[in-house]
Every structure is written in structure tokens, then in C-alpha cells.
């Protein structure tokens, strides 16, 4: 193997290390409802290689939801379809969110499991008592790895209709491997978005600084080798 191939392999390894450490999945519930504005589709297997109750399908993350988990239609500056909006503060996550209308909780199952942390944005403006529990078994069973108590959030975003705004970020770090999440509270009084696995901060993940350094070092060595080889050809 020549020097360039060796350094390219090192860079690929560095990139793999970045990917491994940045394995963060974030669900924004966009596209679950077949049309916008729309009603409240059951999420079901939208993120599990199957479909929602609207026959829509999303990225297959191996994530499924219990039957009472619904995709709420969110308001924009020009469209009103619920009492909830992101207030123009979440580009790319502004049309759909997670809520439930029946029961005292809804369950998310992630059979492959995830580690490190769990997080989301939420709005709960008038009924306290919401909690989110992280379990190491499917279906909200097994050992409790982490729990989040939800405080009431502010109500109303200027220029947008809907009391449920703004959404507030919250998360929890834990040890072990989690396989299910239980979203509990008063039905129809708490809304969740940007549900994130592998990080205590909601939203798409970014590589850790050490991983960036490793990747940049790998690319730097490749570039150095290329410059030396080019020197022989162009001098």
C-alpha cells in the first residue's frame, strides 16, 4: 500500500470515528401527516420501515410508536390548524410534532437501543405533571435509566396563533442502553418535538471536538502526501 492509500485509509478511519461518536438520531415528525394542513395521523411505524395511519413513510430508524401517538399539525404565520406553533423559531421542524389525545402516556420503542442521553423540545402551558421516562426494556419496561419532570412553559409567540409556543429544550444523560421512552402527562396538554436519541441536547448531532481534531489530522496528512507526490511531477 503506497503512502497516499495509507493516509486515505487513516482519514477514512477518522471519519468513521466521527460517525460513530456522532450517532445522534432526531425525529421532527415532518411529513407524518399526508397533507398540510391536516388532521392528526397516528405515527405508528413511520420511522420503522412501515407507515403512519396516513400511509406516509419516513426514514427507517427502527423506531415505532404506540397507537395513541399522534402527529400534530403545527401553525405557521399564515396557516392555523391547531393551538400549537414553533413560532418561526425552528426551520425544518415547523409543521409536525408529537402529542397524544387518549391515555396517560404514549410509548416510543427503539429496539436497537441508544446510549449517552435523550432530549427533546416541548410545550406544556396549562397543566403540570408531565414526565418523560427512559427505560432499558421495550414498551416502557425494565429498569428506569433516566426521568425528566416537565415544568410549565411560556405561552404565546408574537405573530403566530397558538398558546403552545415557544417550545423549551430539555434532556437527560444516563448510563446503560435505553430501548423505550414513555411520554406521560395530561392527554392533549403537552406537545413534544425534535425527539433526540444519543444526546442530552435536542436536534441533529455534531461531532465532538476530539473527533473533529482526529478527522482534520487525517485529512491533513493526506494533503501533505499529495503535495509531496505532486512536487515530483510539477517541479
pLDDT confidence band for 35 (50 / 70 / 90): very high
Q: Are residues 155 and 139 in the same domain?
A: yes
Whichever domain contains 33, its CATH number is 2.60.120
The predicted model scores a pTM of 0.78
Residue 80 and residue 197: Cα distance in Å, rounded?
30
Q: Are residues 197 and 235 in the same domain?
A: no
pLDDT confidence band for 3 (50 / 70 / 90): very low
Q: Are residues 54 and 130 in the same domain?
A: yes
Q: Are residues 97 and 201 in the same domain?
A: yes
The answer on pLDDT for 20 being more than 50 is: no
Q: Are residues 157 and 228 in the same domain?
A: no
Q: Are residues 5 and 71 in the same domain?
A: no
- Residue 89 is given by DSSP the state -
Q: pLDDT tens-digit profile of 174-232? A: 999 999 999 999 999 999 999 999 999 998 643 333 333 333 333 343 333 333 333 32
What residue numbers bound the domain in which 139 lies?
A: 25-205
Q: Are residues 120 and 197 in the same domain?
A: yes
Residue 74 and residue 84: Cα distance in Å, rounded?
5
Q: Are residues 143 and 231 in the same domain?
A: no
Q: Are residues 133 and 218 in the same domain?
A: no
pLDDT of residue 2: 52
Q: pLDDT tens-digit profile of 70-113? A: 999 999 999 999 999 999 999 999 999 999 999 999 999 999 99
pLDDT of residue 18: 37
Q: Are residues 51 and 110 in the same domain?
A: yes
Q: Are residues 1 and 86 in the same domain?
A: no
pLDDT of residue 220: 40
Q: Are residues 217 and 131 in the same domain?
A: no
Total domains in the chain come to 2
Query: If we measure between CA atoms, which residue out of 22, 160, 46 comes closest to residue 98?
Result: 46
pLDDT of residue 203: 83
How far CA 24 is from CA of 21, 103, 234, in Å, comes to 8, 29, 44
Contact call for residues 30 and 95 (beta carbons, < 8 A): yes
Q: pLDDT tens-digit profile of 38-56? A: 989 999 999 999 999 999 9
Amino acid at each position: 500500500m503506497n503512502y497516499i492509500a495509507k493516509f486515505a485509509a487513516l482519514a477514512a478511519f477518522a471519519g468513521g470515528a466521527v460517525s460513530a461518536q456522532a450517532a445522534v438520531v432526531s425525529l421532527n415528525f415532518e411529513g407524518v401527516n399526508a397533507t398540510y394542513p391536516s388532521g392528526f395521523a397516528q405515527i405508528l411505524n413511520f420511522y420503522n420501515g412501515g407507515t403512519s395511519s396516513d400511509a406516509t413513510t419516513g426514514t427507517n430508524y427502527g423506531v415505532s410508536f404506540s397507537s395513541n401517538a399522534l402527529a400534530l399539525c403545527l401553525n405557521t404565520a399564515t396557516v392555523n390548524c391547531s393551538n400549537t406553533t414553533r413560532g418561526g423559531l425552528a426551520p425544518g421542524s415547523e409543521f409536525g410534532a408529537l402529542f397524544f389525545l387518549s391515555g396517560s402516556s404514549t410509548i416510543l420503542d427503539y429496539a436497537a437501543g441508544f446510549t449517552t442521553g435523550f432530549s427533546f423540545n416541548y410545550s406544556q402551558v396549562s397543566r403540570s405533571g408531565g414526565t418523560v421516562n427512559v427505560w432499558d426494556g421495550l414498551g416502557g419496561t425494565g429498569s428506569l435509566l433516566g426521568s425528566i419532570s416537565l415544568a410549565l412553559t411560556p405561552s404565546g409567540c408574537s405573530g403566530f396563533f397558538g398558546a403552545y409556543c415557544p417550545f423549551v429544550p430539555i434532556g437527560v444523560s444516563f448510563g446503560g442502553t435505553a430501548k423505550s421512552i414513555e411520554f406521560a402527562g395530561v392527554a392533549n396538554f403537552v406537545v413534544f418535538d425534535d425527539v433526540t436519541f444519543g444526546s442530552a441536547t435536542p436536534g441533529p448531532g455534531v461531532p465532538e471536538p476530539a473527533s473533529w481534531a482526529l478527522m482534520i489530522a487525517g485529512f491533513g496528512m493526506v494533503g501533505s502526501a499529495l503535495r509531496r507526490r505532486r512536487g515530483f511531477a510539477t517541479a
